[in-house]
Structure 1
């Protein structure tokens, strides 16, 4: 389920979200936030980022994508969502909320900055069901920075799956 809301951007003063993920899924129906940013406030050399870049949630949880900087959106990547899940796409500078019901990995990008590596992942429940599909879809990504971040994040996702006993 996608809820669309347009809000004024909060520039500066916004609290930074954790870099990668929280320690594990909470109870269902929790609302999480992912910031769309020009740079990581903790490491300004990291540009065009989602924070957190990898977020683990429970089925039924929602994620609000917040435009913490101008000119960003969040949209699912073709081939990087579980079978039967609904793709999502926010407009530029738009805050959207997406409820994740289907277990699996959801890859998403910022359309204007996809070749600059602006990619992120939502991990829902036992997310390994579409891991191979996500791995294969990664071959279609464009941009050196995107490919580098994809490989880095995929290694982190695989480590999380192993830690959780999913593989």
Structure 2
């Protein structure tokens, strides 16, 4: 191989590697997933539910809350340290980006007493102890279907 051909080949590989690295920066958001959680008056697991009630996600994923029935909104009750708590508006879709690993426990405030609660696990459950404490204390304000709290906790890995 001549010196000129060698330099061209090295330059070609170098440019190709740089181009691939640049493309991967722009493609990273495409790797994140969007999870859709519907807010329902009646669903497969009973009345006043989020479907699905448990979401396993990764850092960077988003969750879109869709109010398919009127009278619902979503509020976080426990989030990992450094994550921003949220509160949506009544009857409007809401999207949250999951920026930190851990457990995100949420509810529909008008229907908390009916156990309209949900849980998102993002990566490792680094805040398991504090989120569990909030979830257990919330059970005292629930009048029906309080077992949903235990069912959600049983899904955490």
Tell me if structure 1 keeps the 8 A contact 2:55–2:119. Answer: yes
Give the number of the structure whose alpha-carbon radius of gyration is greater.
2
Where does residue 27 of structure 2 map in the other structure? none
Q: Secondary structure at the match of 2:135?
A: helix
> Aligned pair count?
126
TM-score, L = length of structure 1 = 0.71
CA RMSD of aligned residues (A): 1.5
Where does residue 102 of structure 2 map in the other structure? 104
Tell me if structure 2 keeps the 8 A contact 1:114–1:146. Answer: no
Following TM superposition, the consecutive aligned residue runs of length 4 or more in structure 1 with deviations greater than 4 angstroms are none
TM-score, L = length of structure 2 = 0.75
Q: Taking structure 1 as reference, are residues 28 and 76 closer, same or farther at Cα in structure 2, changes over 3 Å only?
A: farther
- Please list every run of 5 or more consecutive structure 1 residues that lacks an aligned counterpart in the other structure: 1-26, 162-167
Deviations 1:89-114 (A, max 9, x none): 11110111100010000000001001
Where does residue 47 of structure 1 map in the other structure? 47
Tell me if structure 1 keeps the 8 A contact 2:105–2:135. Answer: no
Query: How much has 1:28 moved relative to structure 2?
Result: 4.2
Q: Secondary structure at the match of 1:144?
A: coil
Q: Secondary structure at the match of 1:140?
A: helix
Tell me if structure 2 keeps the 8 A contact 1:28–1:59. Answer: no
Where does residue 139 of structure 1 map in the other structure? 136
Q: Distance in 2 between matches of 1:53 and 1:88?
A: 17
